[in-house]
Amino acid sequence: MIEINFDGIIGPTHNYAGLSLGNRASSANAGAVSAPRMAALQGVAKMRRLMALGLEQGVFLPHVRPNVGWLRALGFVGSDAEVCATAWASDRGLMANAMSASAMWTANAGTVSPATDTADGLCHISIANLSTMPHRASEAEQTERQLRLAFADPRFFRVHSPVPAAFGDEGAANFMRLVPPPGAAGDTRPVEILVYGKGEAGGFPARQHRVASEAVARRHGLDPARVLVVRQSDEAIAAGAFHNDVVAVSNGHVLFAHEHAFADPSAVRSAVQARMPDAVIVEVPASRVSLNTAIRTYLFNSQLVTVPAAGGMALILPAEARENEDVWGWLNELVAGGGPIRKLEIVDVRESMRNGGGPACLRLRVQVTPEARAAIDPRFLLDDDACTRVEAAIARHWPEAIAPDDLGDPRLWEQCTLARSALTSALGFAPDEI
């Protein structure tokens, strides 16, 4: 199986509107001036780093912004510019929602079950409804359109529409998968860990509902004996872990999590070990890295990947993790300890981080066979040339800065529309195809 990471290209409207209650970075930076061009270039630089490690890289595109269709559904009428102008004049918050670039965080685009894990041997993808936050809920429609185009071949893929919005589903950010190491004895089927939250904690909503996680597992035809449905700790949600991938990540046979990530950590440990005795659980104790520090630095929102050439695993960490002594000290001990995680790679995605999106938020993992890979629409797959074309479109068309009042500026709406079409045509899409 080949793992492809599909990153969201950071859109030209990237801004700090503080839209996500429970996401501490989003709230702390509300009203700040963003740097969309720098943000998007940081994102491409991260993709290039992964490609340099020998990993395959794909992209999803920024959504149409301003989201005029969404504003029309809210009753604003007239030309596109009139719709935006009246929305801005009557409710700035609505316009901020319609300008959000949040589709960049593709870990929330959907949940992916590779063909090895499903009853019918197809790779199943469920589009996330993201129903807890209005700016994110509006992503589902365009995400579905893109994923149906990218994964259109029914011989390999089955894309599902979102589960009913009554049950919040935030996609792969709350989904982990363990695969035994090569040569392991016994039952070698993967184990899927579905993490949900309940109600509210510390005034923050739990965004992934148990019913939604279970629905996705059923629709994908996962084997119930290999599925663990695990509750996120209230403490983690209250501290700002609005998605599980802020406090835990998995890759291969390794589960890397904070001591307080789950409501019942010892039950998770024994359930994993019972199903996969070779699994390695790396738990970071709060005595070494507090929950608050883990969330501030996004230690666990790193990409844990298997490096094809070197064989071992690497953690692709945000620069914020290196800047904290507790985190950096602990990580260096981990690597020196000789376990499966052998390499630490630092990336700078500060602009995304300031909205609560670290390296792992920016990517959706899709594991495929070489035949299925060949069936993916190649316009969504990156090589060096495509990276250069994307960078050129960003450098030329992305705004340098967006301040809160700019969200109401017709020149910005026009620039962002133009910027997006420059990007889509640079990747070979026809106007209005996507």
Q: Is 209 in the active site?
A: no
Rounded to a whole number of angstroms, the minimum distance from the CB of residue 59 to ligand SUG is 17
Rounded to a whole number of angstroms, the minimum distance from the CB of residue 305 to ligand SUG is 16
Strands (E), 227-376: 227-231, 248-251, 254-258, 280-284, 303-306, 313-318, 341-347, 363-368
CA distances from 16 to 225, 251, 401, 432 (A): 43, 31, 11, 28
Q: Which region among 99-107, 156-164, 186-194, 388-396 touches ligand SUG (by CB under 6 A)?
A: 99-107
Q: Is 351 in the active site?
A: no
Q: Which of 170, 214, 259, 345 is catalytic?
A: 170
Phi, psi of 201 (to 5 degrees): -140, 125
3 state DSSP class of 160: strand
Query: Which of 9, 83, 94, 107 touches ligand SUG by CB under 6 A?
Result: 107
Chain positions 218 to 247 lying near ligand SUG, rule: CB under 6 A, are 242-243, 245-246
- Please state, as a whole number, how many other Cβ atoms lie within 10 Å of the Cβ of residue 389: 16
Q: Which of 243, 253, 258, 260 is catalytic?
A: 243
Q: Which of 84, 123, 361, 416 is catalytic?
A: 361
CA angle 174, 179, 185 (to 5 degrees): 150
Contact status: 62 vs ligand SUG (CB under 6 A): no
Q: Please enumerate, as own/partner, the contacts of 351-354 that have beta carbons within 8 Å and a separation of 24 or more.
A: 351/10, 351/14, 351/34, 351/35, 351/36, 351/38, 351/39, 351/42, 352/10, 352/14, 352/39, 352/42, 352/43, 352/104, 352/105, 353/25, 353/298, 353/318, 353/320, 354/16, 354/25, 354/29, 354/32, 354/34
Query: Which of 6, 105, 151, 380 touches ligand SUG by CB under 6 A?
Result: 105
Rounded to a whole number of angstroms, the minimum distance from the CB of residue 300 to ligand SUG is 10
Question: Per-residue x/- mask for ligand SUG, residues 134 to 173, rule CB under 6 A?
Answer: --x------------------------------------x
Contact status: 204 vs ligand SUG (CB under 6 A): no
How many binding residues for ligand SUG (CB under 6 A)? Answer: 22
Contact status: 300 vs ligand SUG (CB under 6 A): no
Rounded to a whole number of angstroms, the minimum distance from the CB of residue 29 to ligand SUG is 8
Cα(306)–Cα(283) distance, integer angstroms: 19
Cα(326)–Cα(292) distance, integer angstroms: 12
Letter for the amino acid at 95? Answer: M
Contact status: 258 vs ligand SUG (CB under 6 A): no
Query: Which of 23, 208, 250, 303 touches ligand SUG by CB under 6 A?
Result: 23
Q: Which of 72, 48, 12, 42 is nearest to 385 (CA)?
A: 48
Query: Which of 13, 42, 57, 100 touches ligand SUG by CB under 6 A?
Result: 100
Chain positions 310 to 369 lying near ligand SUG, rule: CB under 6 A, are 355-357, 361
Per-position DSSP letters for 76-145, written without gaps between them: --SSHHHHHHHHHHH-HHHHHHHH--GGG-GGGTEEEE-GGGBTTSSEEEEE---TTSHHHHTHHHHHHH
CB nearer ligand SUG, residue 169 or residue 245: 245
Contact status: 17 vs ligand SUG (CB under 6 A): yes
Q: Is 170 in the active site?
A: yes
Rounded to a whole number of angstroms, the minimum distance from the CB of residue 14 to ligand SUG is 9
Q: Which region among 18-26, 58-66, 270-278, 374-382 touches ligand SUG (by CB under 6 A)?
A: 18-26
Query: Which residues contact ligand SUG (rule: CB under 6 A)?
Result: 16-20, 23, 26, 100, 102, 105, 107-108, 136, 173, 242-243, 245-246, 355-357, 361
Residues acting as catalytic residues = 170, 243, 361
